[in-house]
Structure 1
Amino acid sequence: MTRCLHRTLDCGVEFAAEVLPDRRTVALELRVLSGLADEPPHQLGLAHLVEETIDKGTQRRDGRALSDAFDALGAQRASWTGRECIGFTCVCLPPQLQPVLELFAEMLRTPTFPDEACRVAVELAAQDLKSLEDDPQELADKLLTRQAYGPWLGRHALGEASTLANIGAADIRKHWSTYFEAGRMQVAMAGPVDAERVMDSLERLFEGFGGSSPAGRALYPVEFNPVHTHQHKELEQEQIGFCFPGVARTDPQFPVQQVLLAILSDGMSSRLFTEVREKLGLAYSVSAWHENPRGAGMIHLHASTTPERCDRTYATLLREVDRLGEDVTEAERLRAVNAIVARTETRGDITRAHGAELANDLFHFGRPVPLEEKLEAVRRVTIADLKRYLAEHPRDRLCVVTLGPKQLDPAGRQ
């Protein structure tokens, strides 16, 4: 028997818990609602540097002691920087939850950002950024994201070489003090938790931590730019990436978009794998997916091919998307629905997945959404729904990036 609880605490923290009494671990995901989009334009990469250095020392312990304290509790933690938030995740045993929360509060409220740790973090970010030159697919994605999402949501976590050079320890501390506060925090938890006790702990631990009024919930605009660009690079391969506007997670058509993408790119029976790779042998890697900033959505397609096959691969990708509106079958629809349901149910066996899904619900919907409600919406998708979606979201406005030795033939662009 599970139950969900959702409440905004007096301290400002938005809290949700899915109580799973029979689980043996607790999964925690904490998000601070400030990410890449809040960086000053001349200091891109700053949010990532805050995330990288926030655990390098507190007013009570140095970085090693803080890490040892988490390890002593058996806490498995990670962090990440997104377009609109910075996230911290953790899995621990139920008896260790209270001390884990105390360590997170110490880390988030009293970081010291040592000068040397900040200097090293900037250097490592610059090295990671430079290493993208050796990862053509990641580099192509960086170029496409910047072009498709605009100046706020199109930023890369590592920033740019010129902007990293503008960042020092004082800038990292200032960014933390500006954006880290209880009113920007969302905490999601799943497992055998005493939700009332956890809420009492969060109230105590984050009372007086900056502003308590809800903040960081405003939508950032997606400034979609439907242009074709080519980045010349001497490679043996050619990277093709393009995207076009889809729908937000909160849109009633989002389940239709999920099924559509599953038909295109979920498994070895999907259309892209079957047609582009297996039948025509055009690309050794091909995929489709969606990305969803809050309140928006984008459908992406990517293929890694050879320069000689670049034009034909691009044309085939477009044809396969268009063809869905003409000859999608009931067998394909059913396979896609079953794949989504099975993957979701399987992930549901993992406590960490429950915590992540709950955190996504808070971020996009502002409330927990029952899993069965989402799955039932997927099951209800019909072929008529798929065709209607494709008619209402044509791919006549494409943002395209190619990376490699060959530019797309202008005659083949659409």
Structure 2
Amino acid sequence: MTKHEVVEICAGAGGQALGLEKAGFEHALAIELDENACNTLRTNRSTWKVAEGDVADLSVWDPADYEGVALLAGGVPCPPFSIAGRQLGASDERDLFAWAVEQVAVVRPRALLLENVRGLSMPRFTGYRQHVLDRLTQFGYVAEWRLLHASDFGVPQLRPRFILVALKPEDAPYFRWPEPRSSAPTVGETLIDLMASNGWHGAKEWAKRADKIAPTIVGGSKKHGGADLGPTRAKRAWAALGVDALGIADAPPSAKESDDFKPKLTCEMVARIQGWSDEYTWEFTGRKTSRYRQIGNAFPPPVAHAVGSAIMRAFHHEGTPKTVDDTEHDPIYKTLRASSGFVTPERLMKSADLDDRAELERRIGLLSRDFEVEIRTEGTKTRYRLGSFKAFIGQEDHARHDLFLKHRARIS
């Protein structure tokens, strides 16, 4: 059988890694910044080569050493696109999405898989997404985006993830996004055995109350305090399920707790909510807060397994080939990019089928957060020209380097 190796960047504690392994991929290399997450990877897979450090540092790993690997995959940092954050995108020093896409030209993998938060799918980032698709097209790949929900793959929480898959033209017609499987179990069904494991008599009644899937687990950031289950809205959702979200417990509730006690989750319980189970076994290392962040920031293994299997089926050319259509996200960006000179508002509005000048200016404003946009005004006439992409793609003089060093201890 053909060996299908994967290089995984920003591997975290191994959620995506475990899912891809289940799909049939073998890890040639996993790169991760966090020391505790690296220890978790090494503890679970002692034969894997794990590189610890900044994924964009050539002294940590050289992408050219892995040219021709079957899959380049990763879950690059989410804060640049998170709805809960400032959505700085290309202006955020933690943004590695564009850099990861550029590595395709070096590694020349058979396929690319990158996952991120739902925020990247929003109108704020239409230009950013179009730039990514255009670059992959230039590199000779066919790319697709898709928003997948973890709950569609047996994971008992919402957790929408925006996923990019790119394949070479000979494989792309055989790629189909995985279909949703049976509905996810509830929080109560998922955790009742753990809640009862220390003798708590109220576990059965609690499980009846916890009769829905969980809100999205929030891994949190090193910039903030200890582990808890997220912002105020998430805490209210957990409270409705009978869970105290103000922290993580060291152990399940004991027999001395009253039947109406509102328990906190343990790290083991959070891992269950993230999709780790008897089918996806894993051990997490480090102190409680670190373990929680490793679990909470992970890509659920069942979802990675499903997407990885879909890529593997495309490699094997299973099924009937489909027609591959180009995806266009932002006609304004494309019109500006296609022109070497300045473009009139009338031309841009026509390209995007707009009749509202204010809407055009709003979209130009969004583009200018990720790209340099030059505006020339002569009398009453205004024209626009698209400049350089602000994102870090490997430039030696990019501000990302100094900011990364300054904030490294708080990057997660």
TM-score by length of 2: 0.24
Greater helix percent: which structure?
1
Task: Tell me: higher relative CO, structure 1 or 2? Use CA pairs within 8 A at least 6 residues apart.
Answer: 1
TM-score norm. by structure 1 comes to 0.24
